[in-house]
């Protein structure tokens, strides 16, 4: 399998769970401590040596592309004010990766969003990273999948163990463990009832796919609201062509879920020595009022 150069990051959803915060600001631009959600996702891709990011966007999401471009006026202000650390920080974000984008003109689901990137992906294996799913680990999350995809020459999806009472929120795989944490996928079910779930290995927002996924997506029958589910195409692909899953190491936060979004903020703020003790003091006050 060829080196993975490109990642598709769908960011065209409405973010309804995060309203009213997301009425005019994309969910992917909400801050986790001092960076927008999407910057953590792109940093993960960059750490895995992915150079080209393809955003699947909509008419209200230009600000996401702008974040990864130079803001020359701001850079000039920072330069003249002698704020050279900040200047370097904003310049680094602009230089991080090459940005391409394509519009998803109607929000018809994650599978449809991936399909919109078909022309830009071309004929090479590629990564997909969901734009509101945050992963933190020593080896970057998407890099863990690339290692297995290269070794097995097969598409690979990221999974994590979730508690049994949460399986109905996820796509769940049925797989055979062929090496520690590496599975050959036999089947998958979308949002099963607890008693019907074949495991508690949930599909999280990281994938290494081959271009034939687009043919499988073409064949997916649209479900509720005309949505084209990525899981339906993955299921067909797993059965016909074969697919691996990797139990990902590290922490994960779904930025579209308020409890996880807020805990990610606290987690990152606590990593900053200059803020940690003041923040802990304030949090202690809150906890006493419970």
To the nearest whole angstrom, how small is the minimum distance from the Cβ of residue 25 to ligand UTP?
12
Looking at 48, 50, 93, 108, which residue binds ligand UTP (CB under 6 A)? 108
Q: Is 13 in the site for ligand UTP (CB under 6 A)?
A: yes
Q: Is the dihedral of CA 222, 227, 230, 235 positive or negative?
A: negative
In the bound state with ligand UTP, the residue whose beta carbon lies nearer, of 10 and 36, is 10
Distance CA 220, CA 57 (A): 22
Distance CA 56, CA 132 (A): 13
Q: Is 164 in the site for ligand UTP (CB under 6 A)?
A: no
Bond into 236 cis (ω within 30): no
Looking at 29, 78, 101, 132, which residue binds ligand UTP (CB under 6 A)? 132
> Count of residues for the chain?
290
The interface with ligand UTP within residues 49-88 (CB under 6 A) comprises 56
φ, ψ for residue 17 (rounded to 5)? -65, -20
Looking at 64, 93, 109, 128, which residue binds ligand UTP (CB under 6 A)? 109
User: How does DSSP assign 18-78, residue by residue?
Assistant: GTTTTSSS-GGGSEETTEEHHHHHHHHHHHTT--EEEEEE-TT-HHHHHHTS--HHHHHHH
Q: Is 17 in the site for ligand UTP (CB under 6 A)?
A: yes
The interface with ligand UTP within residues 19-48 (CB under 6 A) comprises 27-28
Looking at 4, 29, 36, 131, which residue binds ligand UTP (CB under 6 A)? 131
Q: Is 110 in the site for ligand UTP (CB under 6 A)?
A: yes
What residues line the site for ligand UTP (CB under 6 A)?
Answer: 10-18, 27-28, 56, 104, 107-110, 112-113, 130-132, 256
């Amino acid at each position: 399998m060829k080196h993975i150069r490109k990642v598709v990051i769908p960011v065209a959803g409405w973010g309804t769970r995060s309203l009213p915060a997301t009425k005019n600001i994309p969910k992917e631009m909400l801050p986790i401590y001092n960076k927008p959600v999407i910057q953590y996702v792109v940093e993960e891709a960059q750490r895995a040596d992915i150079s080209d990011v393809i955003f699947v966007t909509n008419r209200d999401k230009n600000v996401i592309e702008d974040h990864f471009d130079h803001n020359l006026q701001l850079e000039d202000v920072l330069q003249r004010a002698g704020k050279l650390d900040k200047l370097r920080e904003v310049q680094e974000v602009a230089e991080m990766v090459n940005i391409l984008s394509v519009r998803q003109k109607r929000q018809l689901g994650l599978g449809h969003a991936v399909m919109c990137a078909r022309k830009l992906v071309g004929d090479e294996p590629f990564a997909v990273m969901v734009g509101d799913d945050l992963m933190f680990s020593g080896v970057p999350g998407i890099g863990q999948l690339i290692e297995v995809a290269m070794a097995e020459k097969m598409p690979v999806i990221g999974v994590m163990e979730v508690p049994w009472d949460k399986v109905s929120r996820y796509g769940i795989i049925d797989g055979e463990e062929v090496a520690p944490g590496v599975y050959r996928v036999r089947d998958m079910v979308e949002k099963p009832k607890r008693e019907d779930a074949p495991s508690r290995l949930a599909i999280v927002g990281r994938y290494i796919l081959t271009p034939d996924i687009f043919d499988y997506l073409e064949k997916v029958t649209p479900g509720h609201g005309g949505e084209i589910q990525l899981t339906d195409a993955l299921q067909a692909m797993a059965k016909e062509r074969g697919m691996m899953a990797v139990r990902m190491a590290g922490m994960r936060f779904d930025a579209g879920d308020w409890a996880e979004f807020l805990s990610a903020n606290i987690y990152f703020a606590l990593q900053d020595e200059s803020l940690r003790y003041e923040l802990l003091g304030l949090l202690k006050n809150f906890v006493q009022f419970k």
